Amino acid sequence: MDRCDSGAVNGGGNDQPRDGGRRDFLKKVGALPAALIAAQVGSEAPAAPTEPPKLPQVRLGRYTLSRLICGSNTFNAGSHLSVFVNHQMREYFTPEQIFKTLRRCEEEGVNCWQSGLGNIELYRQYVDRGLKMHFIAIDAGNASSVEKLAAGGCIAIAHHGERTDAMFKDGQIDRMHDYLKRVRDAGLLVGVSTHMPDVVDAVESKGWDVDYYMTCVYERHRSAAQLEELLGQAPIPVGEVYLPNDPPRMFQAVRRTKRPCLAFKILAAGRLSERRQWVEQAFRQTFESIKPTDAVIVGMYDRYSDQPADNAALVRRFG
């Protein structure tokens, strides 16, 4: 996604070529788009820009969501890459820039923003400014956080994946059931977020009242001992380890449940963004592997390229 946006070409308004010089004039501007040439030579006005094709959509409860959902890690300076990238994201994503990026997503057909309690007030401000996106959240706090999210216009809450997985590993996953009931009592859609395929299978086996899953395709929080067992050695304890065999395992769990799943970190938290072919392969693999009723959550870092447009084009192509 490392494309730079194209610069605009400023024409000369009503300037016309002199008699006899039309051929030379057209040679000079022959590389310009046809619409700009027409404007320069005073022919018919360029056609109004057409709206981009709509994105494929899925149902989540009574709502219709685009199959591409805008994530929030980039907005929250959580790159999962390095503290240096975090600093760059924090510098770039002012509240005004977040609004601009969301509006750009909206122009490309994205109609949902996934975030958390920390951004619900911003969301309300953006809605007042004309944003027409749904808001879904991850959270694992208390009753007050559920109430605040509901009051702010959130339509769905998934139990936070880090907390979910910690409870599962400790054999205490049943502890989150009361929280899920609290979300339902607030009139919101109920979700479970996780980085582990076994969690999806475990919740399915319990028959809980759940509407959807948020499924990270990489199990990124293995312990050093687990990684040493898998790799034969423990990696340097800096950053996170993303293993290429993880996505197929999560995709199997996604297909085993009839409930909608929202796959996230499909680009390995940006590690697969360096080359265009890697990005395309990740989108292709994901949409070939999940159900037609599933969607993806992707963070947008549009500082250097039009990632909302790039990502939307890939979803139209593969989704």
pLDDT of residue 163: 95
Q: Locate the DSSP E strands across the chain.
A: 57-60, 63-66, 68-70, 112-115, 134-139, 156-159, 189-194, 212-216, 261-264, 295-298
CB 65 within 8 A of CB 58: yes
**What's the CATH number where 295 sits?**
3.20.20.70
pLDDT digits (tens, 9 = 90+) for 24-46: 433 433 333 333 323 333 434 44
| pTM tops 0.85 | no
Residues 89 and 231 in one domain: yes
Residues 166 and 289 in one domain: yes
User: Residue 60 corresponds to which tokens in the numbers above?
Assistant: 């989540």
Could you tell me which residues are beta bridge partners of residue 189? 156
Give the domain-ending residue among 33, 50, 67: 50
Residues 82 and 169 in one domain: yes
The count of structural domains within the chain is: 2
Residues 125 and 177 in one domain: yes
Residues 36 and 89 in one domain: no
Residues 84 and 190 in one domain: yes
Rounded to an integer, what distance in angstroms lies between the CA atom of residue 289 and that of residue 200?
16
Residues 145 and 276 in one domain: yes
Residues 128 and 228 in one domain: yes
Residue 103, phi then psi, degrees to nearest 5: -65, -35
pLDDT of residue 43: 39
The distance of Cα 4 from the centroid of its chain, to the nearest Å, equals 20
pLDDT digits (tens, 9 = 90+) for 291-303: 999 999 999 999 9
Q: Is 157 helix (H, G, I), strand (E, B) or coil?
A: strand
Residues 34 and 63 in one domain: no
Residues 6 and 122 in one domain: no
Residues 34 and 129 in one domain: no
Residues 184 and 273 in one domain: yes
pLDDT band at residue 17 under the 50/70/90 scheme: very low
∠ CA 287-318-51, rounded to 5° = 130
Domain region containing 310: 57-318
Pure H helices in 186-296: 197-206, 224-231, 246-256, 276-289
Query: At a CB cut-off of 8 Å and minimum separation 6, what does 235 contact?
Result: 227, 241
